[in-house]
């Protein structure tokens, strides 16, 4: 009997999905006191802001001014850009994560969780779940007391581990069947430092590298680091080597001083170090060349002339991905580490081998 056929004849364990960085559609409502250009819209009702590729082509400065976060370094609080209210699309459903831009011509290149959703739906899930701790309790109740699997891709895996590591053991024992981190950068991803310094594509090949600059998205990628090289970033023009012991100086030298403050705050967060205390199925990719160190011959802010690579999933190095495997020695609940050859980071939610394995996990719960 195929996995999908088995699902159709059995009750389904609930699954909570936590998407990775940039993996959720966002709506914006505008009532701005001023704009960066006269042609930017000041007032507009709720509309798709992330991701709408046509707005990047037509008015990228307007886009980034709307989607940026403002950091209050006194109260350590983040705010939307003045006059902007950002809300997630379809919170509690898969509507906002299947594809990030549904406009004709862009849907296929912004597909994210669509294949994963289709695989689970075909296996008997009735369009997933209809509505992270209240939601889990609600899912548990609606499934007649069936425990919930928590699936986190990329940064969603890191955030899921943080939630579980800090949750009450009795609560986890009652509500959580397992935790499934998929490509989680639990030990960090050095490539994000290059994003802070040189701009980023946010893992999307259709983005021009110059579109996203360090200060704008620093708050979203501030806490990824990995001890995979003594010098993660080298500035040949000054001879300075930046490693984990002086990353804050890197942010200052790269004219991202607020990021240095934010980074010092997030060091207090235990992302990935503490075991979650529930059964774990850790899914990682390997055999994909992954950048871990960068050399800048002409100063920070340019593109690096040389990079150092190691094995990983193309975004997260293997040493970081395998952190979850170390939980097995630190908790009584079982921990399984499953490696998928040539599984690239951003493509994991659509990888057929991974989808089949995920269905097996929730089938046998």
Counts of helices then strands in the chain (DSSP H, E): 12, 14
Q: Return the top range by mean pLDDT from 150-164, 190-204, 207-221.
A: 150-164
Domain limits, the chain: 3-20+107-363, 26-88
* Average pLDDT of the chain, as a whole number: 77
State the DSSP code for 174.
H
β-strands 240-242, 306-312: how paired?
Answer: unpaired
Dig out the tokens for 205 from the structure: 């090949």
Q: Band of the pLDDT at 74, cuts 50, 70, 90?
A: confident
Q: Please tell me whether residue 116 adopts helix, strand or coil conformation.
A: helix
Instruction: Compute the radius of gyration of the chain from its Cα atoms.
Output: 21
What pLDDT digit, counting tens, does each position of 166-180 carry?
Answer: 888 999 999 999 999
Q: Closest by alpha carbon to 47, among 20, 21, 29, 73?
A: 29
Q: Band of the pLDDT at 159, cuts 50, 70, 90?
A: confident
pLDDT at position 126: 47
pLDDT of residue 90 exceeding 70: yes
pLDDT at position 282: 97
CATH, range 3-20+107-363: 3.40.50.1820
| Dihedral, CA of residue 57, residue 224, residue 257 and residue 74, to nearest 10 | 110
Q: Band of the pLDDT at 219, cuts 50, 70, 90?
A: very low
Could you tell me where the beta strands, DSSP code E, fall in the chain? 15-18, 26-31, 43-50, 69-72, 77-80, 84-88, 148-153, 176-182, 233-235, 240-242, 280-286, 288-296, 306-312, 335-341
pLDDT of residue 339 exceeding 90: yes
Q: Tell me which residue has tokens 């006194």.
A: 74
What pLDDT digit, counting tens, does each position of 248-302 carry?
Answer: 788 788 777 666 666 666 655 556 678 999 999 999 999 999 988 888 888 887 7
């Amino acid at each position: 009997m195929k996995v999908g056929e088995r699902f159709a004849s059995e009750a389904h364990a609930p699954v909570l999905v936590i998407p990775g960085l940039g993996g959720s559609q966002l709506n914006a409502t505008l009532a701005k006191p001023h704009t960066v250009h006269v042609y930017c819209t000041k007032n507009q009702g709720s509309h798709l802001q992330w991701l709408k590729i046509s707005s990047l082509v037509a008015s990228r400065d307007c886009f980034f001014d709307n989607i940026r976060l403002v950091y209050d370094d006194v109260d350590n609080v983040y705010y939307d850009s003045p006059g902007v209210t950002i809300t997630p699309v379809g919170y509690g459903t898969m509507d906002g994560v299947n594809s990030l831009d549904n406009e004709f011509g862009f849907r296929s290149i912004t597909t994210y969780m669509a294949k994963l959703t289709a695989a689970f739906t075909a296996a008997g899930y009735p369009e997933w779940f209809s509505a992270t701790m209240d939601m889990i309790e609600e899912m548990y109740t609606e499934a007649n007391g069936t425990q919930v699997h928590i699936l986190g891709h990329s940064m969603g895996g890191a955030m899921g581990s943080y939630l579980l590591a800090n949750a009450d053991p009795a609560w986890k024992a009652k509500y959580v069947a397992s935790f499934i981190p998929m490509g989680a950068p639990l030990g960090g991803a050095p490539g994000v430092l290059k994003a802070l310094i040189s701009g980023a594509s946010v893992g999307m090949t259709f983005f021009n590298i110059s579109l996203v600059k360090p200060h704008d998205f620093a708050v979203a990628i501030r806490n990824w680091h990995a001890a995979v090289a003594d010098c993660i970033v080298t500035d040949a023009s000054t001879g300075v080597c930046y490693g984990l012991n002086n990353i804050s100086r890197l942010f200052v030298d790269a004219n991202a001083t607020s990021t240095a403050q934010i980074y010092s705050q997030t060091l207090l967060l235990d992302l990935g170090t503490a075991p979650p205390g529930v059964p774990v199925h850790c899914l990682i990719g390997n055999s994909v060349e992954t950048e871990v160190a960068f050399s800048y011959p002409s100063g920070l802010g340019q593109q690096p002339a040389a990079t150092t690579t190691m094995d990983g999933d193309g975004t997260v190095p293997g040493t970081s991905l395998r952190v979850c495997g170390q939980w097995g020695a630190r908790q009584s609940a079982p921990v399984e580490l499953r490696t998928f050859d040539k599984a690239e980071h951003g493509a994991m939610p659509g990888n057929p081998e991974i989808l089949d394995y995920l269905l097996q996990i929730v089938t046998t719960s």
